[in-house]
Amino acid sequence: MKPTTVLFACIHNAGRSQMAVTFFNAAVDATKARGLSAGTQPGVRIHPEVVEAMKEEGFDLSAVKPEALTAQLQGETDFLVTMGCGEACPLIPAVRRMDWEIADPKGQEIARVRAIRDDIKGRVADLIEERGWGRPRSPTNTSPDRGP
């Protein structure tokens, strides 16, 4: 069975959608789902304040380039999550869609970017849990301690 393709979309693909797809792909079971991100008007680079906030979480987005939301990407998409692009985000027929109203981190102070990042991280975790896309939990060792 093919994994569900989840597309995270915002206007510039330089902040919100990049954070979401990074958290998503780090936590999802790749046999169940995969994340992509794109923007309706892609920027030149990831916003520096987003790069800084994500570094604090252990992710280096400094070399990541924003991508355009193309017809090809739309064709690969099973589930669309939009983030503040409103009318600029496309309606993709026969695709499940969620709209997350999330502030744009561009130009914000780092404390505000951290709050946006943490909100996105929580929403991504909830989405993965709700849809059953999480990684299998490793069984705990239940064997009795045999001692010396």
Out of 3.30.1050.10, 2.30.110.10, 3.30.2320.80, 3.40.50.2300, the CATH code matching 4-131 is 3.40.50.2300
Handedness of CA 90, 92, 93, 96 (dihedral sign): negative
Burial of 147 (0-12, 13-18, 19+ CB in 10 A): exposed
The SS3 of residue 130 is helix
Q: Please write the tens of the pLDDT for every residue from 5-51.
A: 999 999 899 999 999 999 999 999 999 999 999 998 999 999 999 99
Taking a C-beta distance cutoff of 8 angstroms, is the pair 35, 3 a contact? Answer: no
The SS3 of residue 79 is strand
What's residue 85's pLDDT?
Answer: 72
